[in-house]
Structure 1
Amino acid sequence: MPDTYAYKVRDRGGNLISGTLVADNEGLVLQRLREQGLTPLEVGKQGRGFNIDLTKKKVKLKELSVFSRQFATMINSGLPILRALSILSDQTNNKELARVLGECRMDIEQGSSLSAAIQKHPKVFNNLFVSMVKSGETGGSLDSVLLRLADMIENEVKLRGKIKSAMTYPIAVVALVSLILSGMLLFVVPQFKSIYTQLGGSLPLPTRVLLMVSDVFKKYWYIVIIAVFGGRFFLRRWKATPAGREAIDAFKLRVPVFGSLFHKTALARFAGTLSMLLRSGVPILQALDIVSDTVNNKVISKAVNDVQASVREGESMAKPLGKHKVFPPMVVQMLAVGEETGQVDVMLEKVSMFYNQEVEASVDALTSLIEPLLIAVIGGAVGAAVIALYMPMFNIIKLIK
């Protein structure tokens, strides 16, 4: 049975319009509104409030990659940009992306360029994406630029997925062990304490330490919880400051086991992004500025800023890069060769490919190494607690014999 739906939309002039429509479902409402050239913002059954907020859902990297590849295919086939955006807006399942594409289409209809239109939506299209599209518009190679962006985003998604899979298991295991040890300290150890109190006599040092920790944890457990969440809150606040972010990023590059992985990932991102920008015709100073913003590590970003200052004064890129220990000699030498031969983009692409392969190898190695390592650590921690609990029992048995 048809229902009445309330909606909020923007027309081609950017004006906000509210109204109602009778339809069988929300999808038909959205379809009718878009057929009228309107950009839906909110839709919901009348009387229940707007139960769909089309402005809240984030656009995932995977969705942006699919959009870029499909957009490139349509442009390469000779489809006009406005028609392509209309089709992509209608077929996407992400309401936020549909809204953004609709607004971009309206801006282009009013005389704006594609790059200027997407620049108004930095939460979806970052500075790198905008600059690449702008270079594609200028050079008449928008389809090939969009394909490069799609490849880059897909590689980024793949890389993040590998790192996430490598870190998920140890984090889950550590969390589980923390719960087990907390349960022992709160419920198991106090039972043994009452037994040992009745028996009397002196207890071994490990047992006394374990009982003391249990008493403190049982008495002040709420302080432990407050300390954990409070520490997390202040860490986030500190990370939001420039000094805090730089210190945390520097620590991430040095942290045992995972530091090397983070370092190689950052280097692959730096080289790949800079190579793609230069190959697409983005000016070197602008390319370095974009890389500094998108490399996602303040230590490397600071080094890139130094390189940018050097290039602005007419010097090379390799020399200032070599002053920063975060860049291995191989990267510096490859960049120097690229500058000498006029093939900086090619050399950087090779560096990016090398470190992407290194990341994949590191993830595979970590995956095989972490499991036995965690088993040893967990077994040692739980085993030490159990031995500390039963040591007095062993002493009593010896005395009885």
Structure 2
Amino acid sequence: MPSIDLSRYEKKKAAKPSNKEGEGGLIALFNKDISFGGKELNDKKKEAFYLELSSLLLAGINLKSSLELITSDQEKAADQVLFKTIQDSIIKGGALSDALQGTNKFSLYEVYSLQIGEETGKLTEVLQDLARFYQNKIKQRRKIVSAVTYPCVVMSTSLGAVFFMLKFVVPMFGDVFKRFGGHLPWITEKIIAISQVLENNFWRVFILILLLSAFIFSARNTERFRQLSSRLILKIPVVGNLVQKIYLARFCNSMRLLINARIPLLRAISLSKQMIGYYPVESTLQKVEEDIMQGKSLHQSLQQFSIYPSKLIQLIKVGEETNQLDYFFARVSEQYIEEVEYRTSTLSSMMEPLIIIFLGLIVGVILISMYLPLFQMSNSFQ
């Protein structure tokens, strides 16, 4: 295997700052395919590019001709310009990794993986690994989104119906009851009071929500906000454990990809830290780098952090002892992905009837509270 000059990579890292895929919290959990004005190419396009390029190279087509075919196949003008830029760089004698880095549309871990693939003669294998990585990432995200879509739609529709009743229907009944006078049932008085609070403070609450949303949007990238939000989410029952496993699966998958590309362990950890973008994992990897430089093994450094389960630590220990870290990272990643998919589907199946029952009870209480005075009045007339 040819020797690899890591000092070259350090210089390039300084010249091209990393671009994180996303921040912690629920926004990062879904990690959308479409990036509105985002710097990097979205995951779906990356997967298609790596898959098609690896297939063409395996078919015996040279890199220049493969890029010509990929460029001509692009439907959007912006994508054609991007891949034409990459193609022109290759024609001038540049390496594929340098061409991708020059566009600022690909992350450092992709660039380094391709550099190692080019130097070791395993470019096609690295391209296939990158394609599988994004394929699994997109597949996982789609399953999570499909699992939570129906409960979210039901919840939003039902809350909209409750809001409509409290804002418009209940005040109408309240005016009617005032005209008749008399003593209203306790539950009716409470529902009317809630409706009046909503009506009197609607715009205040609306403006408060807008200000809170603006604050979260502006502070979402600060270290303090990311630390607090991730800590809060991890404490939520069921959801916290699910989020933890999603990012641990992503961490293991990225480590598998980088180690399989023969990137040194320290560099793989550094790139994974930039790639994950999840504070509880990202913050620990800085300490892990320092520990490894001082002679500690990877599993010894990871076991001091609670975010990493003991089972993961033991498997990494076995991987270090047998020199098969990439294999064990792959196994753990697959296991976590399967567990996440099972839990999201189970959670979705449990949430649907619970949401319907809960919101049905709320609507039922509102209706009963509005009709109770009518029943009382009808009994008094008899």
Given the two structures, how large is their TM-score scaled by the length of structure 1? Answer: 0.81
Corresponding position of 2:201 = 220
Matched, 1:318 2:302: no
Which of residues 183, 202, 205 in structure 1 aligns to 2:164?
Answer: 183
Contact 1:59 1:94 in 2 (8 A): no
Aligned: 1:97 with 2:79 = yes
Residue equivalent to 1:209: 190
Is the Cα contact below 8 Å between 1:135 and 1:281 reproduced in 2? Answer: yes
8 Å CA contact retained: 2:292, 2:301: no
| Residue identity matched to 2:113 | M
Where does residue 66 of structure 2 map in the other structure? 84
**Please, which runs of 5 or more residues in structure 2 have no aligned partner?**
1-36
CA 91–56 in structure 1, closer or farther in 2 if over 3 Å, else same: farther
SS of the residue corresponding to residue 63 of structure 1 reads helix
Find the counterpart in structure 2 of residue 349 from structure 1: 330
Structure ranking higher in strand proportion: 1
Does the C-alpha gap of structure 1 residues 256 and 121 become closer, same or farther in structure 2, counting only changes over 3 Å? farther
1:115 equivalenced with 2:97 (yes/no): yes
Alignment correspondent of 1:291 = 272
Quick check: 2:154–2:356 contact (8 Å CA) kept in 1? no
Q: Give the Cα–Cα distance (whole angstroms) in 2 for the partners of residues 147 and 212 of structure 1.
A: 62
Residue 387 of structure 1: how far off its partner (Å): 2.5
Distance, in Å, in 1 between the alignment partners of 2:168 and 2:253 is: 53
Contact 2:260 2:326 in 1 (8 A): yes
Deviation readout 1:181-240 (Å, 9 max, x if unpaired)? 221122111111112112222323332222122122223322222222222111112212
| Residue 41 of structure 1: aligned partner | none
Deviation of 1:389 (Å): 2.3
Specify whether residues 206 and 176 from structure 1 end up closer, same or farther in structure 2 by C-alpha distance, changes over 3 A only: same
Structure 2 counterpart of 1:279, from 236, 257, 260: 260
Aligned-pair distance for 1:125? Answer: 1.4
Task: State the SS of the aligned residue for 1:119.
Answer: helix
Partner Cα distance (1:329, 1:226) in 2: 46
Partner of 1:370: 351
Do structure 1's residue 336 and structure 2's residue 326 form an aligned pair? no
Higher relative contact order (CA 8 A, sep 6+): 2
Shift of 1:77: 2.8
SS at match of 1:82: helix
What displacement does 1:349 show?
1.0
Q: Distance in 2 between the 1:58 and 1:329 partners? A: 35
Deviation, structure 1 residue 394: 4.1
User: Whose helix proportion is higher, 1 or 2?
Assistant: 2
1:147 shift after superposition: 0.6
How many residue pairs end up in the alignment? 346
Provide, for residues 28-76 of structure 1, a one-character-per-residue CA deviation record: whole Å limited to 9, x for no partner: xxxxxxxxxxxxxxxxxxxxxxxxxxx9998432222121111112222
Residues 65-80 of structure 1: pairs in structure 2 closer than 5 A: 65-80=47-62
Structure 1 position 377, deviation (Å) = 1.5
- 1:120 match: secondary structure: helix
- For the residue of structure 1 that corresponds to 2:305, the secondary structure is coil
- For 1:380, the equivalent position in structure 2 comes to 361
Deviations 1:79-138 (A, max 9, x none): 22222111111112233332111112222333322111101233x311221121111111
Q: Kindly indicate whether the alpha-carbon contact (under 8 Å) linking 2:151 and 2:348 is maintained by their aligned counterparts in 1.
A: no
Deviates more, 1:85-94 or 1:284-293: 85-94
How far did 1:366 drift?
A: 1.7
Q: d(CA) in 2 for partners of 1:277 and 1:56?
A: 24
Query: Which of the two has higher C-alpha Rg?
Result: 1
The percentage of aligned residue pairs carrying the same residue is 28
Which residue identity is paired with 2:363?
Answer: V
- Asked if the contact 1:56/1:96 (under 8 Å) is kept, the reply is no
Deviation at 1:399, TM superposition (A): 4.9
Alignment pair present for 1:248 and 2:224:
no
Equivalent position of 1:135 in the other structure: 116
Unpaired runs of at least 5, structure 1: 1-54
Q: CA RMSD in A?
A: 2.1
